[in-house]
Structure 1
Amino acid sequence: MKNKTKNATLKSIIDVILYENPSTQDEIAERLGITRRYVTKLLQPLIKEGLVRRAYIVDIKRLEEFPDLFDEEITSREYAGSFFIKEMLRDMASHVCKQLRASFKSLEEYDEELANDALKMDYITNTMHEKVRASVDTAISMNPYSEFSKTMNFTEIAYDLERIGDHSAIMPNFVIKEAYEVDPAMMDYLRKMFSIAIEMLETAMEAFLNEKLELKGRLMSLEDEIHRVQKSALNCVATQMAETPFEDKERSTYYISLSRIVKTLERIADISIEIFDTAGEYYRNIPRTTTPERFRRREKEFDFE
């Protein structure tokens, strides 16, 4: 247990070096809340081996020589640097799921304070995206011709997660800006869509992070289900809107915003499919189609007709 704790701390030190560019060991110690002496003690063997160079740079290509730093075995396909960036994506996905849940809760409870808290979470999502992007750029510049260049896929996953964060923000903005809360009948549809959308996101990230491409069937079933619920939700909005007097502009604006929430949950589902497609490219070299998911779905519907 003691050795595991030491390795976890050393991994945190390397994270700081990789992603925060400290100039001194004092800076590293301050950011992690540990003593400079302990930082020196842990880094000394790695400096001696040349893995860490002073002022402070990590040789990403050599990280796989230190397997004890990792919680799981590194596959032959993956470099240790890839492992570190995948861990960043794991953390980012977890945060985005929390942001999505917080956003929907603010909508469900029509709570402005919860809405503001959910919107603040989007700043963290954006910061995480920038850290992944910068880390990938650094890794590729150090070794541009190796298989490690496949980590460009990581930038796309981070971008997809950031887009989901942006879509999530539509729900708390509805709470802050609109004068009416969602009625119970419509909320039932939104709950169903939300539940499916977040399961799709978690399933897609599970496929990417752990090479579980066999999850495709489950993901496709969820996709069909969310679009069935979406049609019913939009019909509900249209029916309610038809019963609203034309001169009631405030209520009309409310229905337009409500339709955007339905579309938002659909887009989160579509982006989850895009994440899965990226997993197929990353692990199996399966080329991704350039046709966006929503257009592929329409083509499929036309073929069926």
Structure 2
Amino acid sequence: MVVREQFQLDLNDLQAKLLELGELASVALKKSIEALETCNIEMALKVIDDDSEADALYEEINDFAILLIAKQAPVAIDLRRIIVAIKIATDIERIADFAVNIAKSTIRIGNEEHVQSLQQVKKMYNITTEMLELSLQAFGEEDVVKAKKVADMDDEVDELYGSTIRELLELNHSYPENIPQMTQLSFICRYLERSADHVTNIAESIFYLVKGRHYDLNA
């Protein structure tokens, strides 16, 4: 097998690992929100325990990418593909960490009845996971149109975050005894909003991959 063919196989392997990491992060978010909805402490603990798998895969991706750079000395678009893979892996790993944070907040809330409907939280979650899925498709296809759509969807998450936090602040005055729970719910909203920001970072990395220059899609 010629060197170029092997290098392309290695790049494909790197992309496959990245998509696997994205799936782990997506599943972690799904389980953390489900645990919140159902007050399922055992599920929340499982999210925390399973994070070690995402951490290990993240390290594997980084090591593999660095090895490719050292062995192949890639240039131009190939070098950008590897650099972008490292950056995207970092953003995905942070999303997995936010899922863990949501699980920890769920544990702190415990079995208390929720003082606020989780409808807005679920909307934020649904948009964020849709963004993540679309961003990974955009990466695989090197599609800046899909990447731009991801960035546009982040505005919806920001609006939901703002309105939900305002509602929680108003509830603080009416139900001061529930401030600890509302604090945790505020944190959860923040973790989802930050997750969406990291997905937007992925979209920006795709623009860099395809266009060869940096774009601020949150501007």
| Most deviating of 155-164 and 183-192 | 183-192
Question: 2:174: which partner in 1?
Answer: 243
Question: 1:190: which partner in 2?
Answer: 121
SS of match in other structure, 2:214:
coil
Question: Would the aligned equivalents of 1:179 and 1:254 in 2 still touch at CA under 8 Å?
Answer: no
Runs of at least 5 residues in structure 1 that lack an aligned partner in the other structure: 1-50, 52-60, 66-77, 297-305
Q: How does 1:102-251 map to 2 (within 5 A)?
A: 102-147=31-76, 148-150=78-80, 151-179=82-110, 181=112, 183=114, 185-245=116-176, 248=177, 251=178
TM-score (norm 1): 0.66
Which of the pair is proportionally richer in helix? 2
Q: C-alpha deviations, 1:184-230, integer Å up to 9, x for none? A: 74301111111111111111111112212111453244222222221
Which whole-Å CA distance do the structure 1 matches of 2:27 and 2:110 have between them? 26
| Most deviating of 195-204 and 215-224 | 215-224
Which whole-Å CA distance do the structure 2 matches of 1:278 and 1:196 have between them? 20
Is 1:64 aligned to 2:5, yes or no? yes
Question: Would the aligned equivalents of 2:147 and 2:207 in 1 still touch at CA under 8 Å?
Answer: no
Structure 1 residue 92 displacement after superposition? 1.0
Question: 2:17: which partner in 1?
Answer: 88
Question: Would the aligned equivalents of 1:64 and 1:79 in 2 still touch at CA under 8 Å?
Answer: yes
RCO greater where, 1 or 2, for CA within 8 Å and sep 6 or more? 2
Which whole-Å CA distance do the structure 1 matches of 2:94 and 2:186 have between them? 18
Question: Would the aligned equivalents of 1:63 and 1:81 in 2 still touch at CA under 8 Å?
Answer: no
Question: 1:272: which partner in 2?
Answer: 199
Structure 1 residue 181 displacement after superposition? 3.9
Structure 1 residue 288 displacement after superposition? 3.8
Question: Would the aligned equivalents of 2:37 and 2:118 in 1 still touch at CA under 8 Å?
Answer: yes
Which whole-Å CA distance do the structure 2 matches of 1:259 and 1:119 have between them? 20
Structure 1 residue 149 displacement after superposition? 2.6
Question: Would the aligned equivalents of 1:175 and 1:181 in 2 still touch at CA under 8 Å?
Answer: no
| Alpha-carbon spacing, 1:144–1:129, altered in 2? closer, same or farther (3 Å) | same
RMSD: 2.1
| Most deviating of 95-104 and 217-226 | 217-226
Runs of at least 5 residues in structure 2 that lack an aligned partner in the other structure: none
Structure 1 residue 144 displacement after superposition? 2.2
Which whole-Å CA distance do the structure 2 matches of 1:227 and 1:258 have between them? 16
Question: 1:38: which partner in 2?
Answer: none
Which whole-Å CA distance do the structure 1 matches of 2:40 and 2:55 have between them? 24
Question: Would the aligned equivalents of 2:135 and 2:203 in 1 still touch at CA under 8 Å?
Answer: yes
Which whole-Å CA distance do the structure 2 matches of 1:90 and 1:187 have between them? 29
Question: Would the aligned equivalents of 2:127 and 2:157 in 1 still touch at CA under 8 Å?
Answer: yes
Structure 1 residue 252 displacement after superposition? 2.1
Question: Would the aligned equivalents of 2:44 and 2:106 in 1 still touch at CA under 8 Å?
Answer: yes
TM-score (norm 2): 0.90
Question: Would the aligned equivalents of 2:134 and 2:150 in 1 still touch at CA under 8 Å?
Answer: yes
Question: Would the aligned equivalents of 1:186 and 1:237 in 2 still touch at CA under 8 Å?
Answer: no
Structure 1 residue 254 displacement after superposition? 1.9
Aligned residues: 217
Structure 1 residue 128 displacement after superposition? 0.8
Question: Would the aligned equivalents of 1:201 and 1:268 in 2 still touch at CA under 8 Å?
Answer: no
